[in-house]
Amino acid sequence: MKRIRPEEPCWCGSGKNYGECHLEFDKKLKMYKNKHIKVPDRNMIKTPAQVAAIKESAKINIAVLDHVAENIGPGITTQEIDDMVYKKTTEMGGIPAPLNYEGFPKSVCTSINEVVCHGIPSEDRKLLDGDIVNVDCSTILDGYFSDSSRMFEIGDVSEERKRLVRVAKECMELGLERVKPWGFLGDVADAVQTHAVKNGYQVVRTIGGHGVGIAFHEEPFVSYVIRKGTGMLMAPGLMFTIEPMINTGTHAVFTDPKDNWTVYTKDRKPSAQWEVQVLVTDEGYEVISY
């Protein structure tokens, strides 16, 4: 990184001098790094201008999921969900981020029952009474990305599945409560893992959250099975998703070899997931999309 003098403009674009803006921040990161603690690179720290632009993208992302919530129900096909996501997103000036991403053919992921994530919408799959489904929506606006997902219970859902959906949400919320400046991603993981196991569930290990905002998927990878006090330092300005995938049975999963996208639980038991996009702030955190 180019060295900046205290009297020069700060690298974050705030308009302040470096000495009164991020000088002490950079010194603190260097101190942690010298202790062999993993710290975010400067390009992972969102600037005020970037945060403002990402929030505009998130307005669309939230509105689209609200629209899905108003229209989802028994008998609707997952392709109809995809159609409404594409229509609402583009009407508001955005682009569905999943569409054509590394070959993904649709505008949203619809993951039903034993599908952990990356379910591909289809005209052949109707939502049935008793299903649980995760709708994972991601949006691009002016080159900035937002990403969140929600679970929906379709019709008369069994108590077993309702409990899974509830505990999965609690895991996400408890992880969110652990987001604090100068804490560790392992603190988030500890809250998620502890609550899931206490309730008799397992957390998927091979898939997790991720940085987001300037790109669809950025560093860091957010694991939910690492120890408290480990992982990357949560410096103010770091933005990532909290999206633990909670399985009824084994944590093991596999990807459908036919489409190379759809991820299932290995034992074909139900899975649930909620996702929020969060910004680490000087005081704590701010939820960007939900």
Q: For 130, what's the count of Cα atoms within 13 Å in the CB-facing half-sphere? A: 5
pLDDT in tens, 235-244: 999 999 999 9
pLDDT in tens, 271-290: 999 999 999 999 999 999 99
pLDDT surpasses 80 at 185: yes
Which residues fall within 8 angstroms of residue 46, CB to CB, at 6 or more apart?
54, 213, 214, 237, 238, 239, 279
Identity at 284, one-letter amino acid code: G
Residue with tokens 């989802």: 72
pLDDT, average across residues 174-201 = 98
pLDDT of the residue at 101: 98
What are the residue ranges spanned by the domains of the chain? 39-289
Can you tell me the distance from the alpha carbon of 203 to that of 207, in angstroms, rounded to the nearest whole number?
Answer: 9
What are the beta bridge partners of residue 238?
Answer: 45
Q: What is the mean pLDDT of the chain?
A: 97
Can you tell me the distance from the alpha carbon of 212 to that of 53, in angstroms, rounded to the nearest whole number?
Answer: 13
DSSP line for 32-54:
HHHTT-----GGGBPPHHHHHHH
pLDDT surpasses 70 at 25: yes
The CA-atom distances, in angstroms, between 12 and each of 26, 43, 45, 97, 271 are 12, 10, 9, 26, 40
pLDDT of the residue at 3: 82
Fold of 39-289: Creatine Amidinohydrolase (3.90.230)
Can you tell me the distance from the alpha carbon of 273 to that of 290, in angstroms, rounded to the nearest whole number?
Answer: 12
Give the start-end residues of each E strand in the chain.
Answer: 95-96, 109-112, 115-117, 132-141, 144-153, 183-184, 202-203, 209-211, 218-222, 233-234, 239-242, 245-247, 253-255, 263-265, 271-273, 276-280, 285-289
